[in-house]
């Protein structure tokens, strides 16, 4: 085994001595690559550093031709070296020439070498270069060698950061912060509009000393920091903003579990024993943890890498004696700018001044997103190139509806959004004042407005919006944030909270709609070509009946003595609904055997999301107590159009005559069978679309809390008889859409849309 693995402490001290020594920086870099090659028993060791324009330039090598130094250059993503820089992850391959990203450079003379191991040189959370070793003999380097090379890269980062090799101003010229306005695209994670000054959140703190002088002292520093971090987390879980029950509390409980992970702590202790300082050891282990987790296919588990980033950053700041309060203190309305943010770090900021968050990474299922939603902070994620386009203190506008972030916007844009924020606040106040008014048309037709919910934090909106109940309670979120299948008791607590908040108002619980883009960590799955139409929702439940039984059991326990509404998603044929109802009936009968109080009444329905079910409506309506139309999935299947595809986003219109005719037929069949029908997709939350739906005969709409006010106001200004006549004259049209004519109708008749 190479000396770099068996004697890491000695090598680190020698490298550190070279870094601190005198002489030109490039000469010292040359000595470094020779020392690494000798200890790694490698024929080649090379260091590439980042120059202006995102170019990786060969600065030092042992084994390649000397004339290649400063001559060999490549972009991020180009060749194997560029791939390491692009991903910021190690690359370990035994046959480099066979890799699809291999890029042969004749000036280097590297055609003899087969094995390749490259690791990023990280500086303040960004790639500053790439460290590479190569061998003639094909082999995969051992995990110990990969970890050792990553540790060495940390030491090299000290020399890179000294500014002796690359002038920082050269790189800042490439930051694209020219002062000109920039508009960047992202993905809506938490709804809202915000304006404020950019504040950078940098979880990767600077490591100023890598090699330990006193290993025993570093062990003490590490253990003290771990204990202090645990204490902070215990206090955080009892934070008044998030101490009450709900998924956001479960997030923090899971996060606390990570902090107590023994394997993670043992790796840090081993890194200290190898000769690193306590903070360098934490950073070294986190680089390895992130590299391993980013190889995992499961998106939920990959998202957990940001949780460990959060913990590592917190631990390093404790070791270095940094004040969380000073680091996270906001002085004005602020937009947080980051690659990623952990859920606990988010709570370090002043909620009154934190107006929005913009991330280069992030997803709808991340723990940070769940906490931000509970705090009411708008979040835009997946903003490519964000950190290169924004400077601290610059004005930023976040609009999650348009999915844009405006950097250094012009005064006209700023004033437009300031007015929009003022108007939004005024409208919200008006809607709240109207919450007790009935949703009734001018000619006396009542429409029931219900609310969609998925978090217990949403339940407060029931009273604030005047919703008449919850028409769709999504139950899967509790499962998505749990590392194991939630126990029946845990599920029961969530469902009881929803029923308690609703009091006498109905709550329609949709059973698990997992799979597709909503993965859970405890359920193994295969990659699918088209997950939206694959193994998901009721298909999973019927193949894993224990999963469905436990959930139905929890729902029955929660509804003891009360009315329970259960709805099954993604039903494609009547036979599937019958199978689900049979499982529910067995659970109801089980209550008698246990002597438990059953619900006072149980209503059972299903979602119409799969078009095939529409051709079995006559049979279905004889068996269901109610039906809900889920237009989000139904319409993508209706048009065979992936709703997540940017190219297809505007191709088809929900106000197409074909859509409206189809929905009118469904509503008419339900009304004829005296089966209540509710529309609970996004379509019902837009006043213009809701107007058309009411005109088709729909009398129950369930939508997001923020949409209830606008839809109610529209209904109260609508003359239904006039709208029916208008629609009847246009539904036979073959036009792409009747949207424009509906807009003109609304304006001509004073309808507020």
CA distance 538 to 28: 63
Quick one: residue 503, left, alpha or beta (phi over 0 = left, psi -120 to 50 = alpha)? left
User: Considering only CA atoms, which of 623, 616, 710, 739 is closest in space to residue 666?
Assistant: 616
CB atoms within 10 A of CB 254: 16
Taking a C-beta distance cutoff of 8 angstroms, is the pair 620, 613 a contact?
A: yes
CA distance 706 to 685: 8
Structure tokens given for 663: 């929905």
CA distance 340 to 290: 13
Taking a C-beta distance cutoff of 8 angstroms, is the pair 184, 380 a contact?
A: no
Taking a C-beta distance cutoff of 8 angstroms, is the pair 309, 286 a contact?
A: yes
Taking a C-beta distance cutoff of 8 angstroms, is the pair 471, 679 a contact?
A: no
User: Considering only CA atoms, which of 47, 215, 224, 73 is closest in space to residue 127?
Assistant: 47
Count Cβ atoms within 10 A of the Cβ of residue 330 and give its class: 0-12 exposed, 13-18 middle, 19 or more buried.
middle
CA distance 680 to 660: 16
Handedness of CA 56, 57, 62, 66 (dihedral sign): positive
Taking a C-beta distance cutoff of 8 angstroms, is the pair 363, 481 a contact?
A: no
Instruction: Give me the long-range contacts of 103-111 (CB less than 8 A, separation at least 24).
Output: 103/74, 103/78, 103/79, 105/68, 105/72, 105/74, 105/79, 107/65, 107/67, 107/68, 107/71, 107/72, 108/58, 108/61, 108/64, 108/65, 108/68, 108/72, 109/64, 109/65, 109/68, 110/44, 110/64, 110/134
CA distance 728 to 723: 9
Structure tokens given for 5: 């693995």
If you count DSSP H runs as helices and E runs as strands, how many of each does the chain have, helices first? Answer: 29, 22
User: Considering only CA atoms, which of 291, 270, 124 is closest in space to residue 208?
Assistant: 124
Angle between helices 215-237 and 262-273 (to 10 degrees): 160
Structure tokens given for 308: 């460990």
Taking a C-beta distance cutoff of 8 angstroms, is the pair 601, 588 a contact?
A: no
CA distances from residue 711 to 92, 464, 512, 656 in whole angstroms, order as listed: 56, 15, 28, 20
Structure tokens given for 708: 């209830």
**Active-site residues: which are they?**
367, 680
């Amino acid at each position: 085994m190479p000396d770099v693995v068996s004697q890491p402490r000695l090598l680190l001290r020698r490298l550190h001595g070279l870094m601190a020594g005198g002489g030109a920086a490039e000469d010292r870099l040359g000595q470094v690559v020779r020392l690494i090659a000798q200890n790694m028993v490698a024929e080649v060791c090379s260091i590439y550093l980042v120059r202006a324009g995102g170019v990786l330039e060969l600065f030092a090598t042992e084994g390649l031709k000397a004339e290649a130094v400063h001559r060999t250059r490549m972009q991020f993503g180009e060749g194997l070296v560029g791939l390491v820089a692009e991903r910021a992850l190690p690359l370990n391959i035994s046959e480099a020439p066979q890799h699809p990203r291999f890029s042969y450079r004749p000036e280097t003379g590297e055609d003899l070498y087969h094995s390749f191991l490259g690791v990023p040189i990280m500086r303040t959370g960004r790639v500053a270069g790439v460290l590479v070793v190569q061998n003639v003999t094909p082999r995969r380097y051992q995990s110990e060698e990969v970890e050792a090379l990553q540790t060495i890269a940390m030491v090299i980062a000290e020399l890179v950061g000294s500014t002796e090799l690359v002038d920082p101003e050269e790189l800042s010229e490439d930051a694209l912060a020219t002062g000109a306005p920039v508009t960047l695209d992202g993905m809506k994670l938490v709804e809202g509009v915000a304006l404020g000054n950019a504040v950078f959140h940098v979880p990767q703190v600077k490591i100023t000393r890598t090699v330990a002088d006193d290993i025993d002292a570093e062990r003490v520093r590490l253990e003290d920091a771990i204990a202090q971090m645990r204490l902070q987390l215990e206090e955080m879980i009892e934070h008044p903003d998030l101490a009450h029950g709900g998924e956001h509390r479960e997030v923090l409980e899971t996060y606390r579990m990570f902090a107590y992970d023994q394997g993670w702590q043992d790796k840090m202790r081993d890194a200290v024993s190898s000769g690193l300082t306590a903070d360098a050891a934490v950073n070294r282990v986190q680089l390895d943890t992130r590299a391993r987790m980013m190889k995992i296919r499961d998106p939920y588990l990959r998202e957990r890498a940001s949780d460990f980033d959060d913990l590592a950053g917190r631990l390093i700041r404790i070791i270095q004696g940094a004040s969380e309060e000073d680091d996270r203190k906001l002085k004005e309305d602020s937009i947080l700018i980051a690659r990623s943010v952990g859920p606990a770090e988010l709570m370090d900021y002043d909620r009154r001044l934190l107006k929005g968050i913009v991330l280069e990474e992030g997803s709808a299922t991340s723990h940070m997103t769940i906490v931000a939603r509970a705090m009411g902070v708008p979040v835009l994620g997946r903003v490519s190139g964000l950190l290169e386009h924004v400077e601290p203190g610059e004005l930023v506008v976040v609009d999650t509806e348009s999915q844009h972030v405006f950097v250094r916007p012009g005064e006209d844009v700023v004033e437009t959004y300031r007015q929009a924020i003022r108007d939004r606040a005024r409208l919200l106040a008006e809607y709240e004042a109207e919450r007790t008014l009935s949703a009734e048309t001018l000619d006396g037709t009542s429409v029931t407005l219900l609310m969609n919910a998925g978090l217990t934090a949403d339940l407060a909106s029931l009273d604030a919006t005047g919703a008449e109940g919850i028409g769709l309670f999504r139950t899967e979120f509790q499962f998505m944030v749990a590392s194991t299948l939630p126990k029946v008791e845990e599920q029961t607590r969530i469902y009881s909270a929803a029923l308690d908040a609703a009091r006498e108002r109905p709550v329609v619980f949709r059973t698990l709609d997992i799979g597709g883009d909503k993965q859970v960590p405890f359920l193994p799955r295969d990659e699918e070509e088209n997950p939206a139409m694959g193994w998901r929702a009721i298909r999973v439940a019927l193949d894993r009946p224990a999963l469905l039984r436990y959930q139905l059991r929890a729902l029955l326990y929660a509804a003891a003595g009360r009315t329970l509404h259960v709805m099954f998603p993604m039903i494609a044929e009547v036979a599937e609904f019958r199978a689900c109802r049979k499982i529910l009936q067995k659970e109801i009968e089980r209550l008698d055997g246990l002597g438990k109080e059953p619900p006072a009444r149980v209503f059972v329905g299903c979602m119409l999301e799969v078009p095939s079910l529409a051709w079995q409506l006559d049979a279905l309506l004889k068996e269901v107590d109610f039906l809900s139309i889920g237009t989000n999935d139904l319409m993508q299947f209706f048009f065979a159009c992936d709703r997540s595809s940017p190219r297809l986003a505007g191709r088809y219109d929900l106000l197409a005559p074909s859509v409206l005719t189809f929905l009118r037929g469904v509503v008419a069949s339900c009304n004829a069978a005296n089966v209540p029908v509710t529309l609970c997709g996004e379509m019902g939350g837009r006043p213009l679309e809701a107007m058309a739906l009411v005109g088709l005969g729909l009398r129950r709409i369930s939508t997001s809390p923020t949409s209830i006010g606008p839809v109610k106001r529209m209904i109260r200004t609508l003359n239904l008889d006039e709208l029916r006549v208008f629609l009847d004259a246009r539904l036979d049209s073959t036009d792409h859409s009747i949207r424009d004519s509906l807009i003109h109708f609304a304006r001509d008749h004073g309808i507020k849309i």
